[in-house]
């Protein structure tokens, strides 16, 4: 029997898994690893949301198959969120679908709309599903930069001129995972105009919609008039409400893309567990003070991390948004590369981070640091790092 599976063959070894395996082994050996590797929130969801989950789970009629596209109340709650937060009107019937996490949504959208050999434009470095969701669906990726500067626009132009067949879709993700870069509305205005001119769909991943700092709220591409003609946008409850394990996300926007995604999902799943959907409604419709509280908490962690790591001899630009810092390797250790650096950091400083190369070739020279441990642990991480830097002959 052939084990030459077509899709599996197209997936490279998962680099980040190497560091994850080492971290798990170190923990099994009883070592206290400060884990800044995964973007897995360490905070609890709001109590009233957990209460709603329990309340609905106690009902006898809440345990059957749910609705694949999401219960109507949840789609209405998401429409209210976009109206209040972005001043964007959405039709809950035709412009919103609930997904089992935005990751599943992105992968299912790729399955729904990609023909083998289609060319998709995706950033490098990027969150892996932005490329592999489409690769699994049979697409070819043409990479574009992640940094939204003039080089970005040149790369888009060049891609359209020189790629055969012409690209059909562009993935954007701001605030970016892994680089934490952000864009303003003018960027999205230019992007929507470009997409219309070039007949390219835009898929925007807004997973970090509410994790912005220094009082500069994140924008949605759908704020651009006419964006719905070409764009669909994903949001997630994982980071906003610290509900990563619940698997709750949304796709909203263009009706054709939403219809295609809804259709494929109706073949693939029966929707999330009804109590989870009901509790997600409670999160969106209820008090939002926890969102601001958590934003302030991540911002305070960011400030502690940048200051403490800086004093340890590691200069890290403060991220304007997301839950990550994108940290260049210290010049003295740059030669090591991001994978070896991450392994040594784990072994000698007991700090886990994600090697930048795991997010694409252009991520080399950086590591991604997730701000998912408290301030005291971040300070401890800085002390361990300083000790390791000294042992490597760095003058810190």
Ligand X SMILES: Cc1ncc(COP(=O)(O)O)c(C=O)c1O
Interface positions with ligand X (CB under 6 A) = 39, 101-103, 127, 173, 177, 205, 207, 236, 238, 244, 249
Supply the minimum distance, in Å, between the C-beta of residue 342 and ligand X.
Answer: 18
**3-state SS of the chain?**
CCCCCHHHHCCCCCHHHHHHHHHHHHHHCCCCCEECCCCCCCCCCCHHHHHHHHHHHCCHHHCCCCCCCCCHHHHHHHHHHHHHHHCCCCCCCCCEEEECCHHHHHHHHHHHHCCCCCEEEEEECCCCHHHHHHHHCCCEEEEEECCCCHHHHHHHHHHHHHCCCCCCEEEECCCCCCCCCCCCHHHHHHHHHHHHHHCCEEEEECCCCCCECCCCCCCCHHHCCCHHHCEEEEEEHHHHCCCHHHCCEEEEECHHHHHHHHHHHHHHCCCCCHHHHHHHHHHHHCCCHHHHHHHHHHHHHHHHHHHHHHHCCCCCCCCCECCEEEEECCHHHHHHCHHHHHHHHHHHHCEECEEHHHHCHHHCCEEEEECCCCHHHHHHHHHHHHHHHHHCCCCC
For ligand X, which is the closer residue by CB, 283 or 349?
Answer: 283
Residue showing the smallest CB distance to ligand X in the complex = 101
Q: How far is the CB of 30 from ligand X (least distance, A)?
A: 29
Nearest-approach distance from CB 212 to ligand X, in angstroms = 14
Q: How far is the CB of 193 from ligand X (least distance, A)?
A: 24
Smallest gap from Cβ 395 to ligand X, in A, equals 36
CA distance 124 to 23: 26
Residue among 359 and 389 whose Cβ is closer to ligand X: 359
CB of 173 to ligand X, least distance (A): 5
Closer residue to ligand X in complex, CB, 205/350: 205
Residue (207 or 222) nearer to ligand X, CB: 207
Nearer to ligand X, 268 or 392 (CB): 268
Output 66 or 238, the one with its CB closest to ligand X. Answer: 238
State which residue, 39 or 45, has the beta carbon closest to ligand X: 39
Closest CA to 97 of 71, 119, 122: 71
Write down the least CB distance from residue 127 to ligand X, Å.
4
Q: What is d(CA 395, CA 330) in angstroms, rounded to the nearest whole number?
A: 12
Instruction: Please say which residue, 109 or 333, places its beta carbon nearer to ligand X.
Output: 109
Closest CB 36 distance from ligand X, rounded Å: 14
Q: Which is nearer to ligand X, 74 or 207 (CB)?
A: 207
Torsion of CA 62, 64, 70, 76, to 10 degrees: -30
């Amino acid at each position: 029997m052939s084990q030459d599976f077509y899709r599996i063959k197209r997936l490279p070894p998962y680099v980040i898994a190497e560091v994850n395996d080492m971290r798990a082994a170190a923990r099994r050996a009883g070592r206290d690893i400060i884990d800044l590797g995964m973007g897995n929130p360490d905070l609890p969801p709001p109590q009233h949301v957990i209460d709603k989950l329990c309340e609905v789970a106690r009902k006898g009629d809440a345990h059957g198959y749910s609705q694949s596209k999401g219960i109507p109340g949840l789609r209405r709650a998401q429409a209210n969120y976009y109206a209040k937060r972005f001043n964007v009107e959405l039709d809950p019937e035709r412009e919103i679908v609930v997904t089992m996490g935005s990751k599943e949504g992105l992968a299912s959208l790729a399955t729904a709309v990609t023909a083998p050999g289609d060319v998709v434009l995706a950033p490098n470095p990027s969150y892996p599903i932005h490329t592999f969701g489409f690769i699994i669906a049979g697409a070819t990726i043409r990479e574009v930069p992640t940094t939204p500067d003039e080089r970005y626009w040149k790369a888009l132009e060049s891609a359209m001129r020189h790629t055969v067949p012409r690209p059909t879709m562009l993935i954007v993700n701001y605030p970016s995972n892994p680089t934490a870069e952000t864009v303003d509305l003018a960027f999205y205005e230019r992007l929507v105009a470009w997409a219309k001119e070039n007949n390219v769909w835009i898929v925007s991943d807004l997973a970090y919609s509410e994790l912005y700092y220094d009082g500069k709220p994140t924008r949605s591409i759908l704020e651009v008039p006419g964006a719905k003609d070409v764009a669909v946008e994903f949001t997630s409850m994982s980071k906003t409400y610290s509900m990563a394990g619940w698997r709750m996300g949304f796709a909203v926007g263009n009706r054709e893309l939403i219809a295609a995604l809804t259709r494929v999902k109706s073949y693939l799943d029966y929707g999330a567990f009804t109590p989870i959907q009901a509790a997600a409604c409670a999160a969106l419709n209820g008090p939002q003070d926890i969102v601001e509280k958590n934003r302030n908490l991540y911002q305070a962690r960011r400030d502690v991390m940048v200051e403490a790591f800086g004093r340890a001899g590691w200069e890290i630009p403060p991220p304007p948004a997301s839950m990550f810092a994108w940290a260049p390797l210290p010049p003295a250790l740059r030669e090591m590369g991001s994978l070896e650096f991450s392994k040594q950091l784990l072994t000698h400083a007991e700090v886990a981070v994600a090697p930048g190369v795991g997010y694409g070739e252009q991520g080399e020279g950086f590591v991604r640091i997730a701000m998912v441990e408290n301030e005291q642990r971040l300070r401890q991480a800085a002390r361990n790092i300083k000790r390791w830097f000294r042992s490597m002959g760095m003058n810190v």
